Amino acid sequence: AAIFCFVSAQLSLIQMYLHRRNRHLVKQEDEVVMAVHLLGKLLGFSSERAWHRFVTGNLFTNGSFLERSRYNRRCRALGFAIKWIRHELAKRGQHHAYAVVDSLPLPLCHPARMQRVKRFRGIADMGYCASKKQWYYGFKLHLQVTNQGLAMGYVVTEASCHDVKAAETVMTQIPHPYNFGDKGYISHALREKLYEEHQVAFWTPSRHNQKHGPSKAWEEWIQKKRKVIETVF
């Protein structure tokens, strides 16, 4: 019910509606279909068949829900509305305290097959994962989330792409005034550019051999704030 009320309020703000034939004869309104679809994602259902059986067996036992194939088509048709709502929520994320930027590997095969794999050749490549201390073949996901877990921006690159190269693209999709990153994002030029062109403050911990390092109190404070990377991210 909470999801349905939220979706109804947001869907009424969209100026562009789906203009389809016989819209007045639909079995379920768009708000109901979107609420059911989002509820399935929140409950962790990865199979659409299993989720449709659950809905028809527990939520709409009188047969008033859509047939599975039609439910699938309606969900795909409403994809633009779901993306619009996510974008609006992300823009409202300015009231969140701060945002965190990080990356994670998207391997496509076992490391033993990296040299002979042919899938996505020319798009994916080999990169090094410092946290796992191993090489992998695939892509890299760069993501920015708020301290409450709301995704603000993301980009997928080849595995060899350095975090600094993709940082500006990720953080300027929906700019947040305060951002944190790990040591992989240390770059004086990047920090200056973000602040001068986008009014974005970007903080990273310092290296041990850095010539002019911040105070110990600052290092402890930023380390506490960055703990969200291992939890919310």
Residues 226, 230, 232, 233: is their CA dihedral positive or negative? Answer: positive
Helices (H) and strands (E) in the chain, counts: 8, 6
- Is the CB of residue 33 less than 8 Å from the CB of residue 71? yes
DSSP string, 153-207: EEEEEETT--HHHHHHHHHTSS--SEEE--GGG--HHHHHHHHHHH--EEE-PPP
Q: In terms of CATH architecture, what is 96-230?
A: 2-Layer Sandwich (3.30)
pLDDT grade, residue 230 (50/70/90)?
Answer: low
pLDDT in tens, 111-144: 889 888 888 988 999 999 888 889 999 999 999 9
pLDDT in tens, 67-110: 999 999 888 888 888 888 877 777 765 567 888 899 999 999 99
Distance CA 200, CA 42 (A): 32
pLDDT in tens, 140-159: 999 998 887 788 889 999 99
pLDDT grade, residue 224 (50/70/90)?
Answer: confident
